[in-house]
């Protein structure tokens, strides 16, 4: 087989701006030449991990509630104003943050920023708009029963990360069923704070004008910092959800490095070698050669202080144990070495993703917000590309030796459990 190598150069002149307001809100900016659009990404530290113990799902409901009226606009007027400005927007709860994102023409950014300020600082949160929001989250939660793979991965994250960092952002049906608007409103008004919040913008922007306007809109926003989350270790191990199904769903996770760890880029290369397309090891060995699964994948995920490699396989019950053993064996086998062709493909895929990210204002706004949260600084595409290029096969093997699939957290949905393999 010939050696596979494609060279992709990522050379982009990037400018970054950082401005912190006295109240703790950090403004980030990346002007991008040759684009007409601008995108915003706002991270408020009130994600699902901050939900009260008896109100799991409060952040998800709040995210829906924000768009049901703010400032002097009711629900219809608020949505009409955003539509009239051509704004594509999303409000969602994440594990650690409530996330608001917008994409619009650059010339409309000031008007959109003013609306977002109303949503964050002056949300109406009225009783008569609460129940539709709660019902939407309940409905999303109920659809998990029809999406077993998604359900497995959500439940796996709950069991892998320390509680409540891995909490299901949709909450729990029993909490949602008795949730009251007054309680969620009280929590939202207390938790919505500028301290440690991040507002990132990328695209066709005038940075000085943006800072001036953001200071006017958010500078006098005063609220107590979010309370730190008390975390508790999870028992991990295996959880079996018995269900008489034609397919067994296996989800597993083991510890990895965080974004700020020196081995981070080796972990990302390992992820692609394992699961980056039809030439990846899991696809080739588990699906193509043995026909054990229709779908198998491994994905890296990181919170600020914890990270894992999450692997999923859907298989037939009679070969579930074999599927599990072979999948774990392929992850372990990375420690024995990675070929030059595999390294070349991994670098190419990661750099191609970078190029596509660099062409999207929304992706860049989200990326710089995430960078600042995880690293306290911003990375250029060239910096990331160079770091990927410098990862060696030996470093990938050393990473896998340091972070083998031991102390696995496993969740199985199907007729029978599997036996966890913890060593060769």
Cβ atoms of 260 and 375 within 8 Å: the answer is: yes
Cβ atoms of 25 and 217 within 8 Å: the answer is: no
Residue 11: per-residue pLDDT = 46
Residue 8: per-residue pLDDT = 44
Q: HEC profile for the chain? A: CCCCCCCCCCCCCCCCEEEECCCCCEEEEEECCCCCEEEEEEEECCCHHHCCCCCCCHHHHHHHHCCCEECCEEHHHHHHHHHHCCCEEEEEECCCCEEEEEEEEHHHHHHHHHHHHHHHHCECCCHHHHHHHHHHHHHHHHHHHHCHHHHHHHHHHHHHCCECCCCCCCCCHHHHHHCCHHHHHHHHHHHCCCCCCEEEEEECCCHHHHHHHHHHHHCCCCCCCCCCCCCECCCCEEEEEECCCCCEEEEEEEECCCCCCCCHHHHHHHHHHHHCCCCCHHHHHHHHHCCCEEEEEEEEEECCCCEEEEEEEEECHHHHHHHHHHHHHHHHHHHHCCCHHHHHHHHHHHHHHHHHHHCCHHHHHHHHHHHHHHHCCCCCHHHHHHHHHHCCHHHHHHHHHHCCCCCCEEEEEECCCCCCCCCC
Residue 13: per-residue pLDDT = 67
Angle at the Cα of 300 from the Cα atoms of 269 and 44, rounded to 5 degrees: 125
Contact partners, residue 79, CB within 8 Å, separation at least 6: 67
Residue 358: per-residue pLDDT = 86
Backbone angles phi, psi at 412, to 5 degrees: -120, 125
Residue ranges of the chain whose pLDDT lies below 50: 1-11, 424
Of 151, 317, 294, 311, give the one whose Cα is nearest residue 247.
317
Residue 226: per-residue pLDDT = 82
The separation between the first and the last C-alpha atoms of the chain, rounded to the nearest angstrom, is 30
């Amino acid at each position: 087989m010939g050696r596979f190598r494609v060279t992709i150069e990522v050379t982009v002149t990037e400018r970054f701006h950082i401005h912190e307001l006295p109240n703790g809100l950090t403004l980030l900016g990346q002007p991008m030449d040759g684009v007409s659009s601008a995108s915003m990404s706002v991270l408020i530290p009130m994600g699902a991990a901050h939900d009260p113990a008896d109100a799991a799902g409060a952040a998800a409901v709040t995210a829906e509630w924000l768009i049901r009226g703010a400032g002097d606009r009711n629900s219809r007027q608020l949505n009409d104003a955003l539509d009239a400005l051509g704004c594509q927007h999303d409000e969602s709860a994440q594990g650690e943050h409530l996330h608001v994102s917008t994409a619009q023409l650059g010339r409309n950014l000031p008007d959109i920023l003013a609306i977002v300020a109303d949503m964050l600082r002056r949300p109406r949160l009225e009783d008569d708009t609460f129940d539709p929001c709660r019902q939407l989250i309940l409905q999303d939660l109920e659809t998990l029963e029809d999406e077993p793979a998604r359900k497995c991965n959500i439940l796996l994250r709950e069991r892998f990360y320390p509680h409540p960092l891995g909490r299901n952002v949709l909450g729990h049906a029993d909490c949602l069923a008795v949730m009251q608007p007054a309680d969620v409103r009280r929590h939202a008004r207390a938790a919505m704070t500028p301290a440690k919040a991040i507002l990132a913008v990328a695209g066709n922007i005038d940075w000085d004008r943006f800072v001036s306007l953001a200071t006017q809109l958010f500078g006098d926003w005063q609220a107590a910092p979010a309370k730190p989350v008390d975390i508790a270790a999870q028992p991990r191990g295996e959880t079996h959800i018995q269900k008489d199904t034609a397919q067994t769903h296996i989800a597993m996770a083991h510890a990895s490095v965080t974004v700020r760890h020196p081995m981070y880029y080796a972990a990302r290369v390992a992820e692609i070698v394992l699961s980056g397309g039809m030439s990846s090891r899991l696809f080739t060995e588990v699906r193509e050669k043995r026909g054990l699964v229709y779908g198998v994948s491994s994905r890296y995920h990181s919170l600020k202080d914890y990270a894992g490699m999450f692997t999923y396989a859907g298989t037939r019950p009679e070969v579930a144990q074999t599927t599990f053993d072979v999948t774990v064996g392929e992850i372990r086998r990375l420690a024995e070495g990675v070929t030059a062709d595999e390294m070349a493909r991994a670098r190419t895929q990661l750099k191609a993703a970078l190029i596509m990210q660099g062409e999207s204002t929304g992706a860049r706004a989200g990326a710089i917000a995430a960078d600042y949260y995880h690293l306290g600084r911003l990375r250029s595409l060239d910096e990331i590309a160079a770091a990927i290029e410098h990862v060696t096969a030996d470093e990938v093997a050393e990473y896998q030796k340091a972070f083998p699939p031991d102390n696995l957290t496993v969740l199985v949905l199907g007729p029978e459990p599997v036996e966890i393999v913890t060593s060769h």
